[in-house]
Amino acid sequence: MANRIDAQLAFLTEACKLKSVLRGTTLCDGSRRENSGEHSWHIALYALIMAEHAHRPINIDRVIRMLLIHDLVEIDAGDNPIHGDHDPAAIEVIEQAAAARIFGLLPADQAAAFRALWDEFEAATTDDAIFAKSIDRVQPVVSNLASGGGTWPVYKVTAEQLYSRVGSKVERGAPAIWHALKARIDAWFASTPNS
Amino acid sequence: MANRIDAQLAFLTEACKLKSVLRGTTLCDGSRRENSGEHSWHIALYALIMAEHAHRPINIDRVIRMLLIHDLVEIDAGDNPIHGDHDPAAIEVIEQAAAARIFGLLPADQAAAFRALWDEFEAATTDDAIFAKSIDRVQPVVSNLASGGGTWPVYKVTAEQLYSRVGSKVERGAPAIWHALKARIDAWFASTPNS
């Protein structure tokens, strides 16, 4: 038992580092960049509140578990903003190694179970993972809209980019939410000069 | 449907403010104070990983839901460090009003359901709530130990205070975890001059 608790606390202490990984999005009030730890809390809450809008039947508790662990690999790999330039193949190699290292801190049974859950999220083929990926894309849009466009001007984001990079994923898992977001996105671009 | 999503997004945008409420504890590396949003993520992950140590049978998914919402009232009431001086009755009045305001942003059915879950956490009489309260006390101790004592010197915390304010709650919900923590706490105080 003692060894088991030691391993679990080592994992949980390592996980603390996710609070120091900064994302491309700010808080809703625009006061500072968001970190991946608080983002993980916020989207778990998003999923809990918006589960009724899932396109297909989901197990919301599995979705929440996925979202609690989905970004841990960023401790080694960093955050790669959706509107930034990066090499997906190179990032995948780093994230796979990060998953092996970080989940490997847990007792073997938990390491295997949580690695499998992360693999399922990444593959995005099950209904739970598809909804989890949708929610992960919804929250930054809402935060950007709340802070008057947030980091969209910085990344020179267009409405078409949002349709293709965000809309396609959100619509796949939660079409009603995308319908509501698209109306807000269109209103923002219509009212913002030079956007 | 549109009104329902509007209300849910208003609640989730308000929830974002929890990332700006600072706690008495630092991150594990001591680099800065922790906020209540990232704390909520970290303890949901703690509960998920350490569920097997619950003293009595629990529904871990209900525990995680409780922990995701347990600190939202701090948006209005602020964080009250366990080792600080404050008036519990005055804080309770503020937190009750905060719960009414914040959960009240949700559609009525969800407002009632999540308010009931928060009331259950606060009352700490069900097995799920007792375990959730235990985990809420475990994480700051681990963070303080990881950062060489963290904010204990600031608050002039003694081992006896930790036994009474932390140990009693952790032992009630997760005695095996308290056993492991107490050994670490005792070793820290034994090795730290003037502590």
Domain residue ranges in chain A: 2-191
Task: Reply yes or no on whether the pLDDT at A194 is more than 70.
Answer: no
Nearest CB to B13 within list A44, A64, A146: A146
Q: What pLDDT is recorded for position A195? A: 59
Three-class secondary structure of residue A30 per DSSP:
coil
Task: Reply yes or no on whether the pLDDT at A2 is more than 80.
Answer: no
- Interval A22-26 mean pLDDT: 94
Distance of alpha carbon B156 from alpha carbon B84, whole angstroms: 10
Q: Which two tokens stand for residue B52?
A: 């097997």
- Closest of A103, A116, A79, A78 to residue A12, by C-alpha: A103
Q: At residue A85, what is the residue type?
A: D
Residue B195: pLDDT band (50, 70, 90) is: low
B33 forms beta bridges with B26
DSSP H/E element including B22: strand B22-26
Nearest CB to B27 within list A16, A42, A46: A16
ipTM above 0.90, yes or no: yes
- The larger pLDDT score, comparing residue B151 to residue B190, is at B190
Q: pTM surpassing 0.90?
A: yes
- The larger pLDDT score, comparing residue A88 to residue B176, is at B176
- Interval B101-130 mean pLDDT: 98
Give me the residues of A, 62-81, that contact B with CB < 8 A: 64-65, 68-69
Going by CATH, does the domain composed of B2-191 fall within 1.10.3720.10? Answer: no
Interface test with B, best of A45, A48, A66 (most B CBs within 10 A): A45
Size of interface A-B (CB pairs under 8 A): 127
